[in-house]
């Protein structure tokens, strides 16, 4: 599939119709609850209010009243993107960036369902573009010479947000004002060039095996930063910076998932020796990673997800995926399946991140040594990891009973159970109930994972 083609006709054939249903339920949450209530954004006039039988009359009335209350959103140039300082921008920018990613992909791939979402496509598109316009207006690249703390950008996560926003704008570029898209381009160029020329790639362990950042792999940070370089290549294919973007992207992707054994390795990736591309490692020899001073399952999954996001960019563009984008991903996925957690906590001896029952059969539950400090698990990210394993062949060396397709079905059911829980008798489409997870972007991030999974399912292989 290449840029401009859509996948809506494939849903029934490849079994993603239920996935699409869940994504539309969560889009309903994003556009009818998160927008007006949680983020206090102005809200679009909704359509087809009573078309979804799962909506009670009371809920339908509440949505309609909310729409009427915020009906003036179309006359507002910018939305209040809330954050307190450059350091705290994650609370304001990251959820918005994920929302843009999710809405734009739903519109681009044409799986947006007005009957479920209770918002027309036209309104959803206008809302998404207004989010894009509002958030790029606050990026530093569009305010040259301003004080550093007045606008977001040039931070540890800003390339991640810029890629999500930039990809959404790129997909909808023919539907938005040229002035807005020009601001998007300045944002992407600013973040891509900063990474290319000013960013020194960090490592959890150096070449000698000494820990540089105790308790904190840099793998997920490198992976989430790298994808802006992939997007820049396709947004600006004739740029003089393209060769430099490609070279830095290669180094970052390999560094994000490098193992200690890769230091000095003569193995070649995309025609280059691995040992020449890296100066340390970020993943343990058994595929596990350390973050928050824990052997942390969420960060193993996040590295897979962020590397998968780069793969998705190449696939959306219809371009060959570089080998570096899948470097060592099979090692990390196998770590989820086979790593014996007793190595890190004797109380977990014989247990694995992906839990098995007393008879050794997969359960769909997950665990880790110590308590997961983010709260209850979001099964959507593990479902995405399984989709990657199944579609990209990351499970080739895993025995049949524990391959990706097995866990994919189990984690899908866990995720489905989360989404279809009722609040006051209503299915809201949320992955988490209040107090279950402490990550500010948790709800939007889970939906991002499903949108990414959809792309990978519809563009199989590497």
Residue 424: predicted pLDDT: 83
Specify if 155 maps to a domain. Answer: yes
Task: Give the burial class of 262: count Cβ atoms within 10 A of its Cβ; 0-12 exposed, 13-18 middle, 19 or more buried.
Answer: buried
Task: Give the three-state DSSP class for 327.
Answer: coil
**How many Cα neighbours within 13 Å face the side chain of 193?**
11
> Could you read off the pLDDT of 206-246 as tens digits, one per residue?
999 999 999 999 999 999 999 999 999 999 999 999 999 99
Specify if 29 maps to a domain. Answer: yes
Residue 198: predicted pLDDT: 96
Residue 88: predicted pLDDT: 65
Specify if 3 maps to a domain. Answer: no
Residue 373: predicted pLDDT: 85
Specify if 174 maps to a domain. Answer: yes
Specify if 30 maps to a domain. Answer: yes
Element (H, E) at 355: strand 354-356
Contact 264, 276 (CB under 8 A): no
Residue 437: predicted pLDDT: 87
Specify if 189 maps to a domain. Answer: yes
Rounded Cα distance between 92 and 161, Å, is 11
List the chain residues with pLDDT less than 70.
1-15, 37-76, 79-88, 460-462
Q: Which residues contact 434 (CB under 8 A, 6 or more apart)?
A: none
Domain count, the chain: 1
Specify if 63 maps to a domain. Answer: yes
From the CB of residue 266, how many other CB atoms can be counted at a distance below 10 Å? 8
Specify if 100 maps to a domain. Answer: yes
Residue 101, domain extent: 8-198
Closest of 354, 461, 454, 459 to residue 407, by C-alpha: 354
Rounded Cα distance between 440 and 438, Å, is 6
> Could you read off the pLDDT of 40-82 as tens digits, one per residue?
443 222 222 233 334 455 545 554 454 444 445 565 677 666 5
* Backbone φ and ψ of 199, nearest 5°: -100, 125
Q: Which residues contact 387 (CB under 8 A, 6 or more apart)?
A: 404, 408, 453, 456, 457
Burial annotation 379-400 (CB, 10 A radius, 16+ → b, else e): bbbbbbbbbbbbbbbbbeebee
Rounded Cα distance between 3 and 171, Å, is 8
Block residue for tokens 């040229």: 178
Rounded Cα distance between 86 and 94, Å, is 12
Closest of 141, 188, 196 to residue 165, by C-alpha: 188
């Amino acid at each position: 599939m290449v840029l401009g083609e859509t996948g809506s006709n494939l849903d029934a054939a490849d079994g993603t119709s239920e996935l699409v249903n869940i994504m539309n339920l969560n889009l309903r949450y994003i556009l009818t609850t998160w927008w007006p209530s949680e983020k206090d954004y102005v809200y679009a006039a909704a359509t087809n209010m009573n078309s979804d039988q799962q909506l009670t009359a009371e809920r339908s009335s509440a949505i309609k009243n909310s729409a009427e209350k915020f009906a003036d959103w179309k006359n507002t140039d910018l939305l209040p993107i809330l954050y307190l300082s450059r350091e705290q921008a994650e609370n304001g920018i990251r959820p918005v960036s994920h929302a843009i990613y999710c809405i734009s992909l739903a519109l681009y791939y044409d799986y947006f369902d007005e009957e479920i979402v209770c918002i027309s496509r036209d309104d959803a598109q206008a809302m998404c573009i207004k989010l894009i316009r509002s958030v790029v207006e606050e990026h530093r690249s569009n305010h040259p010479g301003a004080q550093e703390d007045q606008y977001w950008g040039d931070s540890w996560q800003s390339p991640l947000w810029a890629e999500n926003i930039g990809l959404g704008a790129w997909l909808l570029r023919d539907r938005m004002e040229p002035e807005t898209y020009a601001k998007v381009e300045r944002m992407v160029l600013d973040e891509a060039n900063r990474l290319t020329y000013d960013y020194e790639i960090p490592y959890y362990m150096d070449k000698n095996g000494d820990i540089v950042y105790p308790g904190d792999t840099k793998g997920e940070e490198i992976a989430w930063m790298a994808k802006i370089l992939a997007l820049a290549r396709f947004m600006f294919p004739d740029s003089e910076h393209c060769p430099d973007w490609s070279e830095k992207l290669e180094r970052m992707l390999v560094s994000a998932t490098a193992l200690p054994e890769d230091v000095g390795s003569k193995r070649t990736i995309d025609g280059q020796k691995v040992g020449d591309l890296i100066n340390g490692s970020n993943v343990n020899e058994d595929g596990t990673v350390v973050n928050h001073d824990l052997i942390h399952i969420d960060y193993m999954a996040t590295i897979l997800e962020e590397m998968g996001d780069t793969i998705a960019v190449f696939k959306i563009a219809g371009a060959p995926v570089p080998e570096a984008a899948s470097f060592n991903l099979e090692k990390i996925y196998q770590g989820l399946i086979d790593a014996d957690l007793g190595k890190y906590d004797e109380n977990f001896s014989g247990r694995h991140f992906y839990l098995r029952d007393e008879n050794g059969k997969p359960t769909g539950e997950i665990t880790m040594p110590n308590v997961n400090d983010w709260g209850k698990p979001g099964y959507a990210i593990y479902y995405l990891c399984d989709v990657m394993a199944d579609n990209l062949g990351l499970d080739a060396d895993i025995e049949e009973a524990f391959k990706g397709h097995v866990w994919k079905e189990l984690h899908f059911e866990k995720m489905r159970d989360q989404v279809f829980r009722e609040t006051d008798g209503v299915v809201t489409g949320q992955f988490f109930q209040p107090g279950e997870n402490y990550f500010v972007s948790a709800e939007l991030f889970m939906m991002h994972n499903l949108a990414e999974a959809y792309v990978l399912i519809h563009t199989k292989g590497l």
